[in-house]
Structure 1
Amino acid sequence: MKLNLFKRSMIFATFFGSCLCIALIVASLGTTQWIEARAKRTSNPLESEGRISFGLFEGHKELNVGYGWRNRNFSVKAGTHPARRWAWCGCAGQLGAALAAAGGAAILAALASAARARASPRPLLISNSLAVLFTLGAISVWLTEYFLRLQYNVMSDEDLANTWTSDGMADLGLSFWLVVAASISALANIICVMVAMADGRDEDTIAPALEEKVNGAIMLY
């Protein structure tokens, strides 16, 4: 039994949704705006100012103690990241799994839309569901760490020793919201597949009905 044009279109649409999901996850991993924070020194809060932003692997810091800005890029990983090891590993690991699931969903969507015979939508649903699950897991881990730790401090031990503080001055950045958008994209794929499954019409069932109507019109004539 062949898929009708509507079903093929809905399934093929999930290919683009999966590609978008992949692009958003890669962008979130490669950018440095998971957290954006301001800072000041408790010893001279009026003269000092700081800006810190960092992602899962790299960050940027600008500090001014009253004598001009000092800019510095820094690399971060588990153990040296402002987020604790469990949060860094949990977030990075789940995003990697989500990336693999979205890649699998893109391949399955391309194969299913190109197949002549009707293909089972279950693998496509499973792969997109995994992408949603892992992105939501990464979001949950990062939000937990943000509310427990990062909103109070993103400074290094060296900066803390120099009386710098970011308490109450940190916000979730663009990179985090890219993961939220990736999760929404994968969820939209699931909706497309379910809509396609709900449409019970196929080419092999539509054609006889159309042929019967044509024959009836000829007989009436």
Structure 2
Amino acid sequence: MNFKKRSLIFVTFFVSCFCISLLGAALGTEHWVEAGCRREGDFSEKSNGTVNFGLFQGSRHLNSGLGDRYYPMNMLQILYRERSFLQYELYISTIALVSGGILFGIFASLLAIVNTAYNPIEAICHVPGLYLTNGLAMLSSLAAFITWMVQFYTKLTHNVLIREDREEGRWRSDGMAIYGYSFWLTVIATVCYLINIGIISYATWDPVVKKKTKHFESLPAKQTGDTMLY
């Protein structure tokens, strides 16, 4: 590869690192969903609250008219007590897919360094490997936010509150949930991995080789055979 192509491949290293950072932030932050909530019954007009949580932690800020109260949320404990709070399979899939996006992103960044430093012979370490790792990272990130979208529309649009808040506190959150910024970090990471694939395609595109290949394929069978024999 010439200097220009190596430079473009090296750019994918920085993009991959950026994607890894986005997915790592999405995995650790507490804003995959955000929702307002309201209280029924006495003091309902003076009551207000917000709920936000991520894949592992979250928080509830509830004000029944006597001041704001903060309550932490441990998602693993909540799902252990209330299996129907989320669709458990989708929840686990989202965590696994975000982690997969990070893992394949690490492989993609390492291969970008390898292909910038020298020209490997093995296909898995060369351009096909770059396509493979970035493609798998993109698909993992894409699948992660799709599983959360399914989770959102099947569960979270109807409720983001634990049983204690619903039954004892008479709080409701139906129709008040929105996607939080942690979710959008995953979407951005997916787009950036796609950009990486575009950069690799542009960097490895060789119109001269492509033209020769098309010319060779257009030759008659006998002439092609004679050429190969020669």
Q: TM-score, normalised by structure 1?
A: 0.86
- One of 193, 200, 203 as aligned partner of 1:193: 200
Q: Any idea what SS the aligned residue of 1:83 has? A: coil
- The match for 1:123 is 129
Which runs of no fewer than 5 residues in structure 2 stay unpaired?
Answer: 210-230
Q: Give yes or no for contact 2:120–2:126 (8 Å, CA) kept in 1.
A: no
Paired residue type of 2:58: G
Paired residue type of 2:193: A
Question: How many equivalent pairs are there?
Answer: 200
More helix by share: 2
Give the 3 Å change call, closer, same or farther, for CA 88–53 of structure 1 in structure 2.
same
- The match for 2:38 is 40
- The match for 1:22 is 20
Q: Any idea what SS the aligned residue of 2:45 has? A: coil
- One of 164, 168, 188 as aligned partner of 2:171: 164
Deviations 1:30-74 (A, max 9, x none): 110100110011224312111111000000110011111111222
- CA–CA separation in structure 1 for the residues paired with 2:7 and 2:25: 27
Deviations 1:119-166 (A, max 9, x none): 730001000000110111011100011111101100001011021100
Q: Give yes or no for contact 1:7–1:199 (8 Å, CA) kept in 2.
A: no
Q: Note the C-alpha offset of 1:199.
A: 3.1
- The match for 2:180 is 173
Give the 3 Å change call, closer, same or farther, for CA 123–46 of structure 1 in structure 2.
same
Q: TM-score, normalised by structure 2?
A: 0.82
- CA–CA separation in structure 2 for the residues paired with 1:99 and 1:117: 24
Q: Give yes or no for contact 1:153–1:167 (8 Å, CA) kept in 2.
A: yes
Verify: 1:104 aligned to 2:102, yes or no: no
Deviations 1:189-215 (A, max 9, x none): 10011111213579xxxxxxxxxxxxx
Q: Give yes or no for contact 1:4–1:201 (8 Å, CA) kept in 2.
A: no
Q: Give yes or no for contact 2:17–2:109 (8 Å, CA) kept in 1.
A: yes
- The match for 2:2 is 4
Q: How does 1:40-79 map to 2 (within 5 A)?
A: 40-44=38-42, 45-77=44-76, 78-79=79-80
- CA–CA separation in structure 1 for the residues paired with 2:161 and 2:187: 26
- The match for 1:148 is 154
Q: Note the C-alpha offset of 1:23.
A: 0.2
Structure with bigger RCO (C-alpha 8 Å, 6+ apart): 1
Which runs of no fewer than 5 residues in structure 1 stay unpaired?
Answer: 203-221
